[in-house]
Amino acid sequence: MGLDFKAVRGGMLAGMKQAARGALHIVFPPRCIACNDAVSTDFGLCGPCWRDTPFITGLACDSCGTPLPGDDAGPVLCDDCLAQDRLWARGRAALTYKDNGRKMVLALKHGDRLDLVRPMGAWLHRAAMPMLEPGMLVAPIPLHRLRLLKRRYNQSALLSCEVARLAGLTHCADLFQRPRATPSQVGKTRDERFENLRGALQVTPRRRDLLAGRHVLIVDDVMTSGATFAAASQAARAAGAAKVSVLALARVAKDA
């Protein structure tokens, strides 16, 4: 009876990997991504932080993802989306931008917390489920190159890449470009926000063929008025996209 060396070696390797992971957890025990308390699994929140994080899991506006009261089965729209024509078909958000939701978005954006991308990607993927279709193209809202130089990474691109990976869809990090730097949206009214971003995004010319006739899922970290998504949707539609849907990590809700 000969030994199956391949199987033995495979088993030993698996054992060593497990031991290595075990050792890693002794040196670096998995931590809650929000409060740093020890947790039993990687890439997660502890119980109290999970409860304090405003995930949007119930009824949500089919166009902007804002949480809505009630438990209607069919697609519903919030008052904002009823009052204006959105330039995209459907939208979702994983979190409300408040409390721990806001804290974690800011940690990703300004705190170099790239470890957050993986769990956030999973939350986004779950929120996007109702909109996902085979053949969709996933693309982030870009930063202007000067801001990208300063921040070194585009948090929206990291998130959209992770969503595309989890959904098994094509990702295009440079589908959109921002030809000019736009003044900050902070402190502007809703109308000023839309005006500020009018024409601010374009489809990258060499990506037009990839986009033509496709359903595009545009991903951003935060949705406030929807002006950024509107500018990207406008650009995508003008360049021949068949359909546009939008996905935000966090939605700034009116009562937030």
Q: Considering the complex, state which of residue 81 and residue 231 has its C-beta at the smaller distance from Zn ion.
A: 81
The answer to whether residues 113 and 144 touch, using CB atoms and an 8 Å cutoff, is: no
For the record, the structure tokens of 167 come out as: 């959904």
Q: Site size for Zn ion, by CB under 5 A?
A: 12
Do 33 and 115 meet the contact criterion of CB atoms below 8 Å apart?
A: yes
User: Least distance (Å) from Zn ion to the CB of residue 76?
Assistant: 9
Q: How far is 136 from 138, CA to CA, in rounded Å?
A: 6
Query: Any contact of residue 32 with Zn ion (CB under 5 A)?
Result: yes
Contacts of 77 (CB under 8 A, 6+ apart): 61, 62, 63
Instruction: State the minimum distance, in angstroms, from the CB of residue 23 to Zn ion.
Output: 24
Q: Which listed range, 49-57, 126-134, 136-144, 185-193, lies at the site for Zn ion (CB under 5 A)? A: 49-57
d(CA 75, CA 124): 19
Q: Does 81 bind Zn ion (CB under 5 A)?
A: yes
Among 44, 54, 55, 64, interactor with Zn ion by CB under 5 A: 64
76 binds Zn ion (CB under 5 A): no
Cα torsion at 65, 70, 71, 77 (round to 10°)? -40
Q: Of the candidates 60, 78, 108, 127, which one interacts with Zn ion according to CB under 5 A?
A: 78
Residues forming contacts to Zn ion in the complex (CB under 5 A) are 32, 34-35, 37, 46, 49, 61, 63-64, 66, 78, 81
